[in-house]
Amino acid sequence: MPATGESRSDSSLIEAWGDGDERAATELVRRHAAPLARFLSAAGAGAGEDVEDLVQETFLRAFRRIETFRGVSTFRTWLMTIGSNLLKDSWRRRSRRPEVSLEERDIVDEAGDPQDKVVAGDIAARIGAFVQTLPRMQRDVFLLRAQQGVEYEEIASALGTTAGAARVHYHHAIKRLKALLD
């Protein structure tokens, strides 16, 4: 009995899509669209329709080039690197990076003291805004590690660098964020 979409591995779904199985493509979107949207939003894609359009474009590009996915990183991390490239292209077309005001960032903290919520929200909003000002490699490494929990080795494979260099980028990002927050 064949496995259902939910229980199949990414690699099995990718292979099925390579044979033209649209249900496999649908399942891959269901599985990875929300984390991809979070990553792209934090990287500066904004929210709402902008990020949804970018997520859609990322999947389209990935599915059309599925034969180039070698499995050196997970499919999700690969998607995020494609999304990051598309975001860069989008900014290049507009010839600017987005201006992000701290007031526009609305990060909600569900727990704790109301006064702490304000501070926590403020700090998260400031971090969110500062992350978008980081150099691209630092930003992608920082988000993949801190937001997505990806290991350095996989980050390095996905971004075409070494694990040691990825660690250095991460610590530079932390140092820069601390300096901006202090």
Partner 1 sequence: MRERDDMNEQDIERAAAELGSDVRIDVERVARRVVAELRTKAVPALWWRKASVLRAAAAIAILVTGGVLVDRIAENSADDAAVSLLPVGLEELSTTGLNEVLDSLDLFTPASELTPASLNDFDEVQLRELLVAMEG
63 lies in the binding site for partner 1 (CB under 8 A):
yes
Distance CA 168, CA 155 (A): 12
127 lies in the binding site for partner 1 (CB under 8 A):
yes
Contacts 24+ apart (CB under 8 A), 160-166: 161/137, 166/141
For residue 95, the minimal CB distance to partner 1 (Å) is 25
- 3 state SS of 97: coil
CB neighbour burial string for 136-157, b if at least 16 within 10 angstroms, e if fewer: bbbbbbbbbbbebebebebbbb
For residue 96, the minimal CB distance to partner 1 (Å) is 21
Binding residue for partner 1 (CB under 8 A) from 71, 119, 160, 164?
Answer: 119
Interacting residues with partner 1 (CB under 8 A): 18, 20, 22, 25-26, 29-30, 33-34, 37-42, 47, 51-52, 55-56, 59-60, 63-64, 67, 106-109, 113, 115-116, 119-120, 123-124, 127-128, 131, 142-143, 146-147, 149, 174, 177-178, 181-182
